[in-house]
Structure 1
Amino acid sequence: MTNRNAEEQRNHRERRLERRRQRRRQRPERERRGRGQHAAPDRGGQQHSPQEIGDLLSRLIEELGRSNHPDRADLIQAAEDAREEVASPEPRKGTLRTFAKGLVSAVPGFTALAALAKTIEEAVRGL
């Protein structure tokens, strides 16, 4: 490859990257923040406290008790374990994230549970 071709390719890549950056800057703030799996929950920079997450888990346990979800006993046990983990002095964030992801995937057909599960996942992600 000649120096000229290499330089043209480099210039082409730089122009392409600059166009991407410009498009990203033009997107609304909310859309930019919501991209990627590690995006922070939109609470105006405020994070959920472990107490709030524990309260959400308690609500989930109550909702599961009233639901007819086929795996509700297992989900209740997992939620109780997660609630204990959140209340511990040093909660293991990886364990909580794994629980939250599993919860969201376990309740997609149950609207009330799915909304609560998504809220819990976002809260845990913000820890």
Structure 2
Amino acid sequence: MNEKIVIETGKAPGAIGPYSQAIKTGNLLFTSGQLPIDPVTGKMVEGSTADRAHQVLRNLAAVIESAGGKLDDVVKTTVFLANIDDFQEVNTVYAEYFSSPFPARSAFQVAALPLGADIEIEAVVLIN
């Protein structure tokens, strides 16, 4: 039976509720959704949606790297957007972090995100 290993890093924002940054079981890593919070200041990144998407993906990479993986190991992402009109802007940033073969992905517009964020991304990662 696989155990659940809690993954935590100070290079990404800490949990804002009763959850872990990620859980590793076997060779799978399940990340919690990452918000555009600067882990140094603890504040939401200002600027464009693209600026916030960069921060989200840097946070996601930090959590994955702390578990021994890298963005190339991501097999599935879920992108939550407060406004689906930001989809193309986020796609442009997303393509800077992932390359072919791209992870499977779902993207949704949601009514609201924690702390008033406009983007959140979670991932499933295969770590060998």
The verdict on a shared fold, with TM-score over 0.5 as the criterion, is no
TM-score normalised according to structure 1 size: 0.27
The structure that has the greater radius of gyration is 1
Structure with more helix by fraction: 1
Structure with more strand by fraction: 2
